[in-house]
Structures are given as structure tokens and as C-alpha cells.
Amino acid sequence: MCWLEGKVALITGGGSGIGRALVERFLDEGARVGVLERSDQKVIDLQEQFDDRVVVVQGDVTLLEDNERAVAETVRAFGKIDTFIGNAGIFDYFVTLPDLPKENLEKSFEQIFGVNVKGPLYGAKAVLPELLKTRGNIVFTVSNAGFYPAGGGPLYTASKHAVVGLIRELAYELSPKIRVNGVAPGGTLTDLRGPEALGQEKQTQSSVDNIEELMSSITPLHVVPSPQDHTSAYVMLASNKDSMAITGVIINSDGGLGVRGFHSIAGGEHL
């Protein structure tokens, strides 16, 4: 039996990476899916692959009107929205404070916080009336950088800490009608891009030297998850039946980073 049979989800940044994996998984679980995606080519790819099972809106998560348009088109196509997944994000590729160019600092901040913080906030605002009708739920994509240092530079890390605060505040404000949770993936090979202000708009994680070795070496489980490996956590949180008592919670899907201090001190394999 499918976990999300008859449900409707709206996913931002659904054209690639974890977002694309979520579109595919939610469809497999019986849901219909709306997507807000910035890239023209990714919009075309989604429409060609999934036909009328997915409605795709080209737009920018940092614009409230684009979020509202995505909500309206999803409801027009499928009649309702049960789950909003604020997933779109950009990275800063570990640029440290000393290395942040002064002349681009303000613009870099605006671009990273615009997508990573304003995006989920605007999406939640736009979808709120529909979720109140369905007693639905919200799931935000966080990151291991929402909990620990060295998951990015100061801009990315601060933005993901802000998303943690947003989850907790909205879980409090929107209860008891709407549940709000998050998933915090660890290092995952995707085409996550950086801000134009740092010249990183074409940068991808897979192009970083020795990235798989770096990702696996810092986790006790020594894993490099695929985008698909994170999707089960989202599915569970999206299911009111299977997580009806869960709100304000963030699932850390990061290979055990929370215990890495002990692991690094002990050294070697535990088992």
C-alpha cells in the first residue's frame, strides 16, 4: 500500500538533486505533485517525463507571487495541497569569512538567504490557506550545516540555522492544524549551485576534488548518500497517518554526524 495515496504535494526546487528524487518518490507513493522550479530546461524535463501527474511552474522561490502562482496552479490541477516541501537551496562552497570578497558580501548574503530562508518562508505563507483546509503539513530541507560547523561557509551555515528556527517557530504557531518538520541531509552528490555573487552559479558538488572521499570520511557510517536515500524521511513526515504526533522535529539523515566527535577520538572501526 502506498504511503501517500490520494495526497497532493508542492515541492520547490524539484528539477534536480533531492528535489527531483522527492518528485519521483512521492509519485511512487501515490501522490500528485506540483513543482516550483527556476530552470527553464528542468521545467521542460519534468513536464516531458511525468506528463499530467506533475504540474510544473517556472518561477523564483524568492518572489512571493511566484510561490502563490505555484500554489494556485497545483490546486487548479489537483484540487488541493496536503504537503508543502520547501526544498530549493543554494550553497556557498565553504567560502570562509576572510575569503568573502567585501565588494560582494551584501549581494552574496542576499542571494543565499533569499533562496535558503526567504524561499521556505514565502512558500509557507503562500500555501498556508490550502494547508489549513486539508490539515496538512510542511517539510523543510535543512542540512547538517543547520547543526554543525564546517558544513559550509558562514553564509550557508547561518542560513540553515535560520531554517531550523523557522521550523520550530512555525511548528508552534501553526499547531494544532498544521505540522511543520524538517529533514537535514548530510553530504550528498547533487548539482547544488552557488550564488552568482560568488561566481559559483555553475559550480556543482560533483566537480569538487575528492568530494566522495571527504563526505564518507567524516561520517561514522562512511556513507555518501544518493538523493533517493533521503526521501523516506520526507515521505514519513508527509504522512499524517504515520507521523500524526510529530511536529517541530528535524530528522538528521547525515550518516551519524552528531556522534562524529566520539568516532574521531576513538579512531578506527567500532564493529
The set of catalytic residues is: 156
Q: For residue 239, give every residue at least 6 positions away whose Cβ sits within 8 Å of its Cβ, in sequence order, or none.
A: 3, 4
- Report helix, strand and coil shares of the chain as percent, to nearest 5: 50, 15, 40
The Cα 100–Cα 135 span in angstroms is 43
Q: For residue 27, what is the enclosing H or E element? A: helix 17-28
- What is the residue type of 63? L
Q: Is the dihedral of CA 123, 128, 129, 134 positive or negative?
A: positive
What is the per-residue DSSP string for 202-225?
Answer: T--GGGSTTHHHHHHHTSTT----
Q: Are 187 and 127 in contact (CB under 8 A)?
A: no
Computed over its alpha carbons, how large is the radius of gyration of the chain?
A: 18
